[in-house]
Amino acid sequence: MEEKILKFLQTVNKRLTMEELANGLELNSAEQFKEVVRKVAELERSGKITFNKKGKLSLTAPAVLVEGIFRAHEKGFGFVTIDQEEADVFIPVGKTNFALDGDRVLVDITKPARPFGDLGAEGEIVEVISRALTRMVGVFHAYEDAKVKETDLFGTIQPKGKKISKYTLYVAAMGIRPTEGEVVIAEITHYPNSDYPTMLEGVVKQTIGHVNDPGMDILEVIHSHGIPVEFPEEVQLAANKVPDEIDLTKIKGRKDLRDQVIVTIDGSDAKDLDDAVTVWVKDNGNYHLGVHIADVSYYVTENSPIDVEAAERGTSVYLTDRVIPMIPHRLSNGICSLNPKVPRFTMSCEMEINLEGKVVDYEIFPSIIQTTERMTYDSVNKILEDDDEDEKAFYSNLVDMFGKMKDLHQLLESMRTKRGAISFEDHEAKVIVDETGKPLEIIGRTRQIGERLIESFMLIANETVAQHFSNADLPFIYRVHEHPKSEKLQRFFDFASAIGVSITGSAEKFESTDLQNVLKQIEGTPEEMVVNMMLLRSMQQARYSEYNYGHYGLGAEYYTHFTSPIRRYPDLMVHRLIREYHESTEEKRQEKWELLLPDIATHASQMERRAVDCEREVDSMKKAEYMQIHLGEEFEGVISSVAKFGFFVELPNTIEGLIHISTLEKDYYNYLEKHLALVGERSGQVFKIGQKVTVKVMKADPETKEIDFKLIDAEEVPRIETSSKRHGKRSRGKKETRPSKRKQTSGTGTKKKQGNSHEWDSKGSQGSGSNGRRKSSKKSNKSKNSPQPFYKKVAKKKKRKG
């Protein structure tokens, strides 16, 4: 009987009622029907068949298990990112199997994605393969003596991250025994389970200092991201053996460029000067551009203690009050820094560039230089933009070269624009702190001609080096930025059409030149800010790869990172490869790098993300701390992001705060995703990106990195006619049980901004605009003043009638 039932269900391949199953088996008598029911019950208990909600049965579908990274939300649900897949798998509350944010997990797909529509696949985590969180950093709180006697635990650590804030780590009474208020690093030994769903257990391995020590807040963030602060002893010893000055007897094999006029141009506070440039016009009218980069790989040799540590760190980390270097300061600020008027070993890329901005000839080689001057961006900007007579007189021997640099930069910029490079001008700010780490001021930073010309020179050098090795077909490491995913571009198309922006082309074949046309359409219009933001959200993150996929944002067919080996490990690797291939391109050497480069590229990308996350967290913390002294004050700002739970407002100093929808009085607001706007149901009041508002600072919390504003006044903007207004459909207060991927919240409490970079990719792509601070608004729907929506009344009548 069992075999008959299973075979029949396999043949029909659809769900059946018990009657349909019995009829199909031609078992129609009462006794036969009872036997079918009994056997079906056994098969259900054994898991071989399943019933749906309508009482129909079918063969149990085999489990579809996929592996991915879990991204938790503070409210209990999450998403699993599957390698090589565009859409994430939604994990409902109660189906996470106690996985923590960042864990690598195995997922059973319980609901496939809809072929058409907004909802992706849904699943359940069946196994945690590996843990991302293996240690925790936080303030130790000791138990009272009486409590210690009753347990093997003697204190707790409360994590600060919103995604793990519901957990408590209980410290075992073994290993280091810290005192109350000490900031510690604990190794996690036990994770949450069904008996203790919010409990972690661990052993203290290190004390960092006391919570009240100056700078401890930033140090706590650094350690929480697993970023090493101190160099191991063997690395320090190796660094101390590096000489302070170069050995001039070892310049054989290097081109001597010490007679050339070469300058460094950096920020006034920069200490690690790793690039220098020179420009002149050749007899044929073309430009000569020399880009000379510190030859770090000469001192940091393969598999040496310094190299191993640099590879692990991946990048330097730049925070408000400190720099955590990739290599020891003795090298980065010493012999590897292109300090003025002293000889230094470099790796050079000399290019001849025609009047169309194209490289017509080049040479890449090891060299020795001696810079003529250490210039700052401020000084160059005074000369080229302000026409400052005093500055020009002081650097009279260099003024002519700076003029040629400006001309060449404009050629290169024009060339990039013509081929489709996308330029998103973003404004950044620097937090100025005192010796104790307290924020004093937030200063805006704008990129002027000095910054932009160095950017142009570094870009063309990176492209030239990448093209050389791609054409040579040698194993290499590239900086790639792939074509935007069609799913994200389609969302942008929908949004742009809703605000009247004309777009030609399809999401599958939308080139960077097409994006340029969009930006030209909205340049100088009120919609410019919102369109820029939506385009940024459509972009993929740039990364490192052993394959050359080109750089979409730059419109470049070839791209790598060659110009910053002091602070980025991929650049150091590029220098090492240049040196290795300069010596030999034998097959054995190529096979070696073919094997090593994939892991190097992947790890470097991961370390870059870690550094960016740490930098953002510290920046948000210090901005929140700065705003604490401005509680109750009013500021003018601009709406920078809109979500279902409210909207963010950015002040001129780049600080952002949330106006939660619950604080908007006298109306209910519908979220219109295509317009990125909140619209009042009765008043028609619109809140959208780019709109000017006046706000009052209500809350600023450095621990959660959250700033809350209250709306005081808003600029009048054209109303938006919506179907939800005509039909009485509300989004506020609606219970969302299964958020789509594009409504996924970031859980950080502060909107993640796209950073400013010549690639506009080093800070990563921005989230969807939702951020996990949404509060339940069920009370709002129960308000006595709010009429019940018509569709709800109809639904209730149907339910009673049924």
Residue 510 pLDDT exceeds 80: no
Q: With bands split at pLDDT 50, 70 and 90, how would you rate the model's confidence at 797? A: very low
More confident residue, 117 or 756: 117
Indicate the pTM of the whole model: 0.79
Alpha carbons 398 and 410: distance in angstroms, whole number: 19
108 three-class SS: strand
CA angle 708, 714, 716 (to 5 degrees): 155
Task: Kindly report the length of the chain.
Answer: 802
Alpha carbons 753 and 767: distance in angstroms, whole number: 8
- Reported as a single tens digit per residue, the pLDDT across 467-496 is 999 999 999 999 999 988 877 888 788 777
Residue 791 pLDDT exceeds 50: no
Residue 779 pLDDT exceeds 70: no
Backbone angles phi, psi at 501, to 5 degrees: -90, 130
Q: What value does the mean pLDDT of the chain take?
A: 85
Count Cβ atoms within 10 A of the Cβ of residue 541 and give its class: 0-12 exposed, 13-18 middle, 19 or more buried. middle
Residues 6+ apart with CB under 8 A from 343: 246, 248, 258, 368, 369, 370
Closest CA to 65 of 126, 120, 113: 126
Residues 6+ apart with CB under 8 A from 323: 316, 317
- Reported as a single tens digit per residue, the pLDDT across 299-337 is 999 999 999 999 999 999 999 989 999 999 999 999 999
Alpha carbons 236 and 277: distance in angstroms, whole number: 31
- Reported as a single tens digit per residue, the pLDDT across 431-468 is 999 988 899 999 887 889 999 999 999 999 999 999 99
Q: Are 187 and 203 in contact (CB under 8 A)?
A: yes
The token pair that represents 285 in the structure block: 């009218």
Q: What pLDDT was estimated at residue 492?
A: 81
Q: Are 15 and 58 in contact (CB under 8 A)?
A: yes
Closest CA to 703 of 165, 198, 178, 318: 165
Closest CA to 754 of 650, 660, 676: 650
Amino acid at 462: N
Q: Are 323 and 316 in contact (CB under 8 A)?
A: yes
DSSP string, 370-401: E-SEEEEHHHHHHHHTS--HHHHHHTTTTHHH
First to last CA, the chain: 39
Query: Facing residues of 125 across strands?
Result: 107
Q: With bands split at pLDDT 50, 70 and 90, how would you rate the model's confidence at 744? A: very low
Residue 290 pLDDT exceeds 80: yes
Count Cβ atoms within 10 A of the Cβ of residue 732 and give its class: 0-12 exposed, 13-18 middle, 19 or more buried. buried
Residue 335 DSSP label? I
Alpha carbons 686 and 680: distance in angstroms, whole number: 7
DSSP string, 321-355: S-EE-SS-HHIIIIITS--TTSEEEEEEEEEEE-T
Q: With bands split at pLDDT 50, 70 and 90, how would you rate the model's confidence at 761? A: very low
Element housing 467 (H / E):
helix 449-471
Q: Are 499 and 527 in contact (CB under 8 A)?
A: yes
